[in-house]
Amino acid sequence: MALTEKEQKAIQSLLVDMVAVVPPLNIAMGIKDITSVGWDLYRKNYKNKEEENALKVELILGTICLIPGVGAPVRTTFKQLIRNPDVYAPLMFEIITLIIEKANVQLKKNGIQPIAFNPEELLSQMIDTVGLKSYLEQGRQAALKSAKDSVFGRWFDVSGTINTCFDFLGSNLISCIQLLRPHILGAITKSKARVNNSAMHRIPDKNTPKAQQNTPKAQEKSGQDRPTKTVSAGKMKERIQTAYPKLANSFGGGVGEHIADYYCLETLGWGKGNWVRHDEHTNGKWKAGADTRKLNDRGKLKKLQPIGNDIGIDGFWKANPATNGGKPYAVVEAKASMSHMGQQSNLAKMMGVLAAKENGKHVVQMSHNWIEPRLEKLLLGMPVAVKADLGSDPNKRKLKYRRHIVFTALHLPETDGWKHAEALLDRHDESKHRSHKPTKHINNEREVDAVIRMARNNAEAAEKRHKADKKSGKSK
């Protein structure tokens, strides 16, 4: 469901604490709340049960603030949720998604692992006793260190007071969580209802007449004729499966290959300015005299479509050595996912492994053993100059190309992967997806080899398990 202007303003007002998403600022804010509120609880500085409960809620919010990335803005969000649940509960998934998106930018800058885009899971973590206890313990250690580094703290030995306070808080954490739990569960329920009731955009059948509307002006004013904006990774996946039930698995491949091709063209500069007609595939063409350019697939850059290249090399380019490790050619593998950020272990799982072994070893996609026969086949249709340049010796040939893995995540809102998926689902004109920035680009040969090695180890482990299972089955 598209956000109204009022809802957008309500959400933006919650992002004031985004500056404190990474240590040490988030820890300082959390400790300040925990120690001041915790001392009042420990000393029973409250007049009645209502004041006690209010302090307990402040305590749990202070503990949440210790969580790197989202703690501080989520704390602010929960304060508003408690004060005005009717406004903020239905918007919670949108709010959390936006917080994660902005937090991940800061986390990446600081070398911290990004947070997965799953607002419901993140909300559930905020009332998880085990997880919050670990953050509370981190707060204790940070407070003790701060006291030790302080002259005042050393003189008066406040470490004993800190430990007493945190011990008390740890033993009362469950009762604090119980006060926050109804607000969080209520927000999850209302956010789900909002998502389920949203009139998500569906691609109409060409032969299906449009339903009778009031007037064009009324439509324009109300925004009824605009496609619905996808606001969560789960909803994006649902839309893909609904729109392309038979192509859902290859949808990411199509988007990933399109972005990879234009990334090589525009960002790496392999033929930049010499390719005519964006997103027209066979109708596109290279200007005469273009030196660096794509060589396979008849030189055509991939059109944005819900189907990818299941076999063979995704991209073989005459590259600019300045952006290709000094080498004249490049072999590019495009990957895309709706569920991860392209970590090495996940990329390894995405690499294809041939059934037939070579010298007793599994042949993994993008290894030189995998590339060579496919490149040999591609060269049959290459210009004579390229054939002569690469030669016929496989050992010398591999010294002339550099390998690239270009990964695009489709589940990160407002990234180019996300926007391309939406453009395909909403049938936007090509002018709506002109930026082509992938999530990750691996062009270091050692890193590529590390992914291949992990994929090979995975295949060997799977083979051993299969043999063991088969053997145990026979013994039975």
Render each residue's pLDDT in the chain as its tens digit; 476 residues. Answer: 455 666 566 555 555 444 444 555 666 677 777 777 877 887 888 899 999 999 889 888 888 888 877 888 888 888 888 988 888 888 888 888 888 877 887 777 777 777 877 888 889 888 888 888 888 888 788 777 766 655 434 434 556 667 777 788 888 888 889 999 999 999 998 888 876 664 333 333 333 333 334 333 333 333 333 334 445 566 777 888 888 776 777 788 889 999 999 999 999 999 999 998 776 656 788 998 889 999 998 899 988 888 766 678 999 999 999 999 999 999 999 999 988 888 899 999 999 999 889 999 999 999 999 999 999 999 998 999 999 999 999 899 999 999 999 999 988 877 888 889 888 888 776 766 778 999 999 999 999 999 999 999 999 999 998 888 877 765 55
Q: How far is CA 206 from CA 95, 210, 242, 292, in A?
A: 36, 10, 17, 41
Residue 392 lies in a domain: yes
C-alpha 284/C-alpha 298 separation (Å) is 11
59 and 187, same structural domain? Answer: yes
Q: What is the pLDDT of residue 182?
A: 92
Residue 81 lies in a domain: yes
391 and 263, same structural domain? Answer: yes
3-state secondary structure of 293: strand
Residue 233 lies in a domain: no
CB 436 within 8 A of CB 419: no
Residue 193 lies in a domain: yes
Q: What is the pLDDT of residue 443?
A: 94
263 and 192, same structural domain? Answer: no
Domain count, the chain: 2
470 and 408, same structural domain? Answer: yes
What is the phi/psi pair of residue 319, to 5°? -105, 170
Predicted TM-score (pTM) of the model is 0.54
283 and 393, same structural domain? Answer: yes
Residue 224 lies in a domain: no
Could you list the residue range(s) of the whole structural domain that residue 271 is in?
Answer: 248-475
Give the domain-ending residue among 164, 182, 197. 197
- Give the contacts of 268 (CB within 8 A, at least 6 positions apart): 319, 320, 323, 324
DSSP 476: -
Q: What is the pLDDT of residue 31?
A: 75
Q: How many residues does the chain have?
A: 476
Give the domain-ending residue among 182, 197, 212. 197
Q: What is the pLDDT of residue 432?
A: 64
Cα angle for residues 223, 225, 226 (degrees, 5° grid)? 70
